[in-house]
Amino acid sequence: MALWKKILIGMIAGILVGAFLGPEAELLKPIGTLFINAIKMLIVPLVFCSLVVGVTSMQDTAKMGRIGIKSILIYLATTAVAISIGLGLGTIFEPGAGLNMQPDAGAAAAAKEAPSLVSTLIGLIPKNPIEALAGGKILQIIVFALGLGIALNLIGEKGEPAVKMFNSLAEAMYKLTELVMKFAPYGIFALMAWVAGKYGLEVLLPLIKVIAAVYIGCILHVLVVYSGAISVIAGLKPVQYLKGIVNAQMMAFTSTSSSGTLPVSIRCARENLGVSKGTASFVLPLGATINMDGTALYQGVCALFIAQAFGIDLSMADYMTIIATATLASVGTAGVPGAGLIMLSLVLTTVGLPMEGLAIVAGIDRILDMARTCVNVSGDLMVSVLIGKSENELNEDIYNAKDPVSEPEMVQS
Ligand code: ASP
């Protein structure tokens, strides 16, 4: 049976068992944590090795710069669309209407300060690459790996042994990802049971409109915006894209971490979508760190929800501010569970909405995080296809293969 089918069964069984056990399902959580840890173990070596390999296999530095700029532009554009969808749905659904909440001065949560642009830029260069690797600082790792890859290209023959070593390490990490993924159905079963047990219907019902608005927005974004881009911009069949990313989506949905899903996304991009090794290993780690469309969409819905719940009217200028801040906030959001909630505080402060709103959203944040992370990861994969297609780095035979999710042997490119 294909892996995604086993994972799907694990998910459904997990929800049923969790609903039956209630909070007791917490007992199963360690099995899920074990799986998540095993995947996390892969991130740093995989990103580092595969990025070095990507750069050394590309040779052409101008092409690399072009890919970087194109990716960032598409990332930002789709994020702005996502947040507009969030604001639109927040207006239509009015999830906070009639709640009549009063700001309570004592309960204000601490707002997150926006980091300055200069400090963000300076922070991109690791003073100590080993520290960046040890701390899992993906953007710093990307910068160091790019530098190392370019240097290896420049020294030509002398660099070959190192290039071979990185190549073989990268292949080993892909294989290890495949092995760890065999455990996915069980890990995902345990995580779903825990979530379903923790959030019974009583917790979810009062906030059902927020949940519905976020989920509908997320589904629309993937089905309309991403599929549309695949079909209109790349001229490819969106169905193949949707089929090819199922494993990564399920992983994102249950782990609520785009960084944690990275090893699986890279596999999906290469094996199912036919994106070249170089492009996948450059575009996806970058996307997992800065491209968070689901998070932006969620921030739009939640900002409106909180404004409505506290009876605050927002002006057109406020909407514009929300679009700008949420786009930037989503870039600064780490691809880890719950990070979007912290960044929501930034959006709330900029438009002067009460921080207490965070507490209400926090109660159901995991449920919202599952959907938004799924979109974050789907967006990264969509961009990898667009870039692959425009740079002639996409194998259309693999992309159009009949059953892309049937775990074919690793594609060597
Ligand atoms: N959990 C999300 C992610 O990893 C970030 C967020 O909390 O919005 O993509």
CATH number of the domain at 335, please: 1.10.3860.10
Q: For residue range 228-276, what is the model confidence (pLDDT) as tens digits? A: 999 999 999 999 999 999 999 999 999 999 988 999 999 999 999 999 9
- 171 belongs to a structural domain: yes
Summarize the confidence of residues 288-299 as an average pLDDT: 92
Shortest-distance atom of ligand 1 to CA 260:
4
User: Where is pLDDT greater, at 411 or 52?
Assistant: 52
Does the beta carbon of 333 lie inside 6 Å of ligand 1?
yes
156 inside domain: yes
Q: Which pLDDT band holds residue 393 (cuts at 50, 70, 90)? A: very high
Question: Has residue 173 got a pLDDT over 90?
Answer: no
Q: How confident is the model at residue 104 (pLDDT cuts 50, 70, 90)?
A: low
Question: In testing the pocket of ligand 1, which one of 43, 376, 378 has its CB within 8 Å of the most ligand atoms?
Answer: 376
- DSSP 3-state percent helix, strand, coil across the chain (nearest 5): 80, 0, 20
Tokens of 331: 């870039």
- Please report whether residue 169 resides in a domain: yes
Q: Is the CB of 254 under 6 A from ligand 1?
A: no
Q: For the chain, how many structural domains are there in total?
A: 1
pTM given for the model: 0.83
pLDDT of residue 409: 45
Position 404 in a domain: no
In a domain, 365, yes or no: yes
Q: Specify if 267 maps to a domain.
A: yes
Helix (H) or strand (E) holding 95: none
Any ligand 1 atom below 6 A from CB of 260: no
If we measure between CA atoms, which residue out of 250, 253, 260 comes closest to residue 36?
260
Provide the percentage of residues in the chain whose pLDDT is more than 70.
Answer: 92
Cβ 261 under 6 angstroms from ligand 1? no
365 close to ligand 1 (CB < 6 Angstrom): no
- Cα–Cα distance measured from residue 365 to residue 357, given in angstroms and rounded to the nearest whole number: 12
Q: What pLDDT, on the 0 to 100 scale, is given for residue 244?
A: 95
Confidence of residue 165 (pLDDT cuts 50, 70, 90): very high
Among the residue ranges 122-126, 158-162, 231-235, 292-296, the one predicted with the least confidence is: 122-126
Measured from the Cα of 333, ligand 1's closest atom is 5
Per-chain mean pLDDT for the chain? 87
Q: How far is the CA of 374 from the centre of ligand 1 (A)?
A: 9
For residues 142 and 212, what is the distance between their CA atoms, to the nearest angstrom? 36
Closest alpha carbon to 4 in 202, 188, 212: 188
Residue numbers of the domain that contains 33: 3-399
Give the CA distances from residue 134 to residues 126, 221, 312, 386, in Å, rounded to whole numbers and listed in that order: 12, 35, 45, 32
CA of 400 from ligand 1 middle (Å) equals: 30
Query: Does the beta carbon of 247 sit less than 6 angstroms from any atom of ligand 1?
Result: no
Q: What is the pLDDT of residues 63-91, one digit of tens each?
A: 888 998 999 899 999 999 999 999 999 99
- Amino acid letter, residue 30: P
pLDDT for residue 355 is more than 90: no
Confidence check: pLDDT of 408 > 50: no
Q: With bands split at pLDDT 50, 70 and 90, how would you rate the model's confidence at 123?
A: confident
Q: Which residue has better confidence, 245 or 7? A: 245
Distance 253 CA to ligand 1 centre (A): 10
Query: Out of 116-125, 328-337, 388-397, which region has the weakest mean confidence (pLDDT)?
Result: 116-125
Q: Indicate the length of the chain as a whole number.
A: 413
* Other beta carbons within 10 Å of 136: 15
340 lines ligand 1 (CB under 6 A): yes
The residue nearest atom 1 of ligand 1, judged by CA position, is 337
Residue of 39, 191, 373, 377 with the most ligand 1 atoms within 8 Å of its CB, for mutation: 373
Residue 109 has pLDDT above 70, yes or no: no
Domain presence at residue 239: yes
Alpha-carbon distance of 132 to 46, in angstroms, equals: 14
Q: How far is CA 277 from the centre of its chain?
A: 19
Rounded Cα distance, 170 and 53, in Å: 8
Is 238 part of a structural domain of the chain? Answer: yes
